[in-house]
Amino acid sequence: MTVVNLQYYAQLREQAGTSSEQFTTGASSLRDLYEELRVARGFSLSADALKVAVNAQFSAWDRPLRDGDTIVFIPPVAGG
Amino acid sequence: MSRFELSGAAVDTTGQRDRLRHPASGGYCAFEGWVRNSNEGREVDGLSYEAYAELAIAEGERIVAEAIERYGVTDARCVHRTGDLKIGDMAVWVGASAPHRDEAFRACRYIIDEIKHRLPIWKKEHYVTGESDWVACTHVYREHEHEDHHAHHHHAHAQPFVPDYSRQTRLRDVGEAGQAKLAASRVLVIGAGGLGCPVISYLAGAGIGTLGIVDGDRLDASNLHRQTMYNASDIGQYKAELASRRVAALNPTVKVRIWKEPLTAANAVEVFGQFDLVVECTDDMRSRYLSSDAAVVSATPLILASIYQYEGQLQFVAAQPGMPCMRCLWPQEPAPEAVGSCTLSGVLGPVPGVLGAMQATEALKYLLGLPQPNAGALSLVNLIDLSIQHLPIDAANGCVAHGGCVAVARRALARAVDEEAIDLAFDRLDDAVAAGFRLVDVRNAEEWASDPMPVVAALQVPSGQVMERAGEFADGRFLLVCASGRRSGHAARLLRDEGMQNVYSLAGGLNALRVAG
């Protein structure tokens, strides 16, 4: 199991009900982790609609997870 | 029934007043304009009015109808004199009756102000010296008008405004040289809403030479909690016009150009080319993509921001080779349902204020040549925990794989030019039905219940379901309708991509119909 720090923005923050949380996962990649979270947190957006960053750098979805990673999920927003 | 008259004879005020009597009216308000014995220091002993009658009557009718619509008064009328008048004669009469006094006063005021600006009527003044002069109508009523405007007008002539930029030129990095750079700069602001208000205000105050303002919307009461340049009395007016008046009041030395329609894929590159910097402040994803593409193709730097509830995103697009554009990060326009909006998700008023102030700061830094260490990053601003996170965008992972930003942007603009034929404007849905369109309400079920369409739709298909129900659009021509035209436009483009050339979108959505009345 891997322990990661998650940060949510915009719609994801609203749906998760929190800006950040520590999460223990058996997922091996960012994509698997997000699919797990979609069920656990009720996210409506698919991964394709999002950007993901790990430790303050944008990342590809197939990146493997490491203990202590800080992972940020970012949806596009349009308000003005 | 005509509500505006040109009259060669004295105005029958009793008759006019009686025609405004109505059981629903709790009061009535009138304004009379009289011929005065002096104008601009010259003694006047009479005058003559000449009107371009056909045009004046049509325009006068329009003005009175606008006042009735705008303020919801029961009825309103106006008479303007033509021919020869003496001192003390009535030159114009305006009356409005309404359930409550406030609307009556406001409608009356609106009519006289608009008559003054818009009616093609000329005045020939006869001076006591025996001379006479033609004076344009806008001049006539300015002299008749309320005293503070008059006083201000003359004060402005006596002492031209000299801006004082000392508080910013004192900064070592600005100085007189920096101020000269700002004065020589041309900045285009797209969107005069929550983000645009601080951007326009700060750039005007800083003494930018030319400000362009693009906004096709009219002010709505729901804008006022975050759009700080406007007044409650401005509701219903074009934001671009209101913003240009605000700039003129704040810093009359700034030159302003306005566009009261959104830019299009056909003209955006050319317009961008007339500016040194563009600041994208709309709440519209499509406009953001158009701006990114036009910025890249015209090599005009662009500052993007967008907000969601309590947070925002900021990106500086340098529009230089090797620097990332918006498509490097988000290659394709997301579905409107995925991005949220102030209307559906809500927003705390100061949030766009903070992001707009950041855009204005970036704009000044760029124009002054100050360092922008995070210019190549997406900045995430979270106003719940007051954090800002910068995520560098790697241009090597972006448009490069598809031929580079410029090639990608050119292709996107060419496609968008084709797609613009999808958006059709109608004043009334009945007109669309008469033109043979079947109406499709693509809003969600909640909106169908809370805000029914003025004309019953042939189909109700939420925008997120149009692709799976595409089979229902086989026969005939379809006009997709939503609140703003965004969801319907996106859905229509998706269906067009599937080869369905019989699908269109109502430009501006139901909101545009309400404005058109």
As a whole number, mean pLDDT of residues B430-454 equals: 91
**Do residues B73 and B14 make contact, with C-beta atoms less than 8 angstroms apart?**
no
Residue B338 to residue A58, Cβ atoms within 8 A: no
Range in B254-268, B282-296, B411-425 the model is least confident about: B411-425
**Contact (CB, 8 A) for B196 and B189:** yes
Question: A72: closest CA among A59, A57, A53?
Answer: A53
Say if A49 is an interface residue toward chain B (CB within 8 Å).
yes
Domain assignment of residue A80, yes or no: no
The amino acid present at B372, given as its one-letter code, is: Q
Which residue from A9, A13, A78 is facing B285, i.e. has the nearest CB?
A78
Chain A neighbors of B282, CB-CB under 8 A: 80
* Closest-approach residue (CA) in chain A for B194: A80
- Answer yes or no: do A10 and B309 touch at CB < 8 A: yes
A contact test, residue of B215, B227, B313, B326 with most A CBs within 10 A: B313
Q: Which helix (H) or strand (E) holds B201?
A: helix B196-206
pLDDT, residue A79, reads 86
Helix (H), strand (E), coil (C) string for chain A: CEEEEEEECHHHHHHHCCCEEEEEECCCEHHHHHHHHHHHHCCCCCHHHCEEEECCEECCCCCECCCCCEEEEECCCCEC
| From B191, B390, B391, residue closest to A80, measured CB to CB | B191
pLDDT at B455 over 80: yes
Nearest to B306 among A14, A19, A77 (CB): A77
Say which residue the tokens 């001192």 belong to. B87
pLDDT digits (tens, 9 = 90+) for A30-70: 999 999 999 999 998 999 889 999 999 999 999 999 999 99
Neighbours of A38 (CB within 10 A): 16
Give the minimum alpha-carbon distance from A10 to chain B in angstroms, rounded to a whole number: 6
In the numeric block, which tokens belong to residue B331?
Answer: 């290659």
Nearest-CA neighbor of B309 among B357, B349, B359, B354? B349
Q: Which CATH architecture has domain B4-157?
A: Alpha-Beta Complex (3.90)
Longest CA–CA separation in chain A, Å: 41
The domain spans of chain B are 4-157, 166-418, 425-516
The confidence score (pLDDT) of residue B152 equals: 43
Do B330 and A51 make contact, defined as CB atoms within 8 angstroms?
yes
Is B441:B432 a contact under the CB 8 Å cutoff?
Answer: no
Q: Say which of A19, A53, A79 has its CB closest to residue B306.
A: A79
Minimal CA–CA distance to B318: which of B299, B297, B330, B301? B301
Q: Which residues contact B97 (CB under 8 A, 6 or more apart)?
A: B20, B21, B22, B25, B27, B28, B29, B73, B74, B75, B76, B104
Helix, strand or coil for residue B21? coil
Band of pLDDT at residue B140, cut at 50, 70 and 90: very low
Q: Are B410 and B418 in contact (CB under 8 A)?
A: no
Tens of pLDDT, residue by residue over B130-139, are 666 655 443 3
Kindly determine whether residue B196 and residue A76, on different chains, have CB atoms separated by under 8 Å: no
Distance between CA B28 and CA B103 in Å, rounded?
10
Looking from the CA of B184 toward its CB, the CA atoms found within 13 Å total 8
For residue B285, the chain A residues in CB contact (below 8 A) are: 76, 78
Nearest CA in chain B to A46: B338
Q: Are strands B27-34 and B90-98 parallel, antiparallel or unpaired?
A: antiparallel
pLDDT over 80 (residue B154): no
**Residue-wise burial string across B87-101, b where 16 or more C-beta atoms lie within 10 A, e elsewhere:** eebbbbbbbbbbeee
Q: Which CATH number fits the domain B425-516, given the four candidates 1.10.10.60, 3.10.20.30, 2.40.30.10, 3.40.250.10?
A: 3.40.250.10
Q: Which of B313, B359, B352, B375 has the alpha carbon at shortest distance from B206? A: B359
Specify the pLDDT at position B116: 80
- The interface predicted TM-score (ipTM) is 0.85
Which range scores top for mean pLDDT: B75-89, B101-115, B356-370? B356-370
Three-state secondary structure readout of B161-175 = CCCCCHHHHCCCCCH
The CA-based diameter of chain B, rounded to the nearest angstrom, is 82
Q: Which residue among A14, A57, A76 sits closest to B339, beta carbon to beta carbon?
A: A76
The answer to whether the Cα torsion of B112, B118, B119, B125 is positive or negative is positive
State yes or no: pLDDT of B90 exceeds 70: yes
| A54 interfacial to chain B (CB closer than 8 Å) | no
Per the structure block, which two tokens stand in for A68?
């202590």
| Partner-chain contact A57 B193, CB within 8 Å | no
Length of chain A: 80
Q: What is the mean pLDDT of residues B463-490?
A: 91
At B334 the pLDDT is 84
Confidence of residue B515 (pLDDT cuts 50, 70, 90): low
Residue of B nearest to A50 (CA): B330
Q: Which helix (H) or strand (E) holds B132?
A: strand B132-136
Q: Look at residues B80, B133, B70, B129 and name the one whose alpha carbon lies nearest to residue B104.
A: B70
State the CATH number of the domain containing residue A11. Answer: 3.10.20.30
pLDDT at B143 over 70: no
Could B334 and A76 be called an inter-chain contact, meaning their C-beta atoms sit closer than 8 Å? Answer: yes
For residue range B336-352, list pLDDT tens digits in order.
777 766 677 889 999 99
B495, B465 in Cβ contact below 8 A?
A: no
pLDDT at A7: 93
Sign of the Cα torsion A53, A58, A63, A68 reads: negative
A53 interfaces chain B, CB cutoff of 8 Å: yes
Whether A79 is covered by a domain: the verdict is no
Chain B: residue whose CA lies nearest to A44: B338
- For chain B, say whether A39 makes contact (Cβ under 8 Å): no
Fold of B166-418: Rossmann fold (3.40.50)
Q: Which residues contact B327 (CB under 8 A, 6 or more apart)?
A: B289, B292, B293, B398, B399, B405, B408, B409, B412
The range of the structural domain enclosing residue A32 comes to: 2-74
Q: Angle at Cα B186 formed by Cα B182 and Cα B187, nearest 5°?
A: 100
On the question of pLDDT at B237 being above 60, the answer is yes
Q: Cβ contacts (< 8 Å) between A57 and chain B: which residues?
A: 391-392
Indicate yes or no: CB of A80 within 8 angstroms of CB of B306.
yes
Asked if the Cβ–Cβ distance from B352 to A79 is below 8 Å, we say: yes
| Nearest residue of A to residue B355, measured between CA atoms | A80
**How many domains does chain A divide into?**
1
Q: Please report where in the chains the tokens 């700039």 appear, as a residue.
A: B247
A–B CB contacts, 8 A cutoff, strictly below:
98
Give the residue-averaged pLDDT of B446-462: 90
Dist. CA B490–CA B468, nearest whole Å: 15
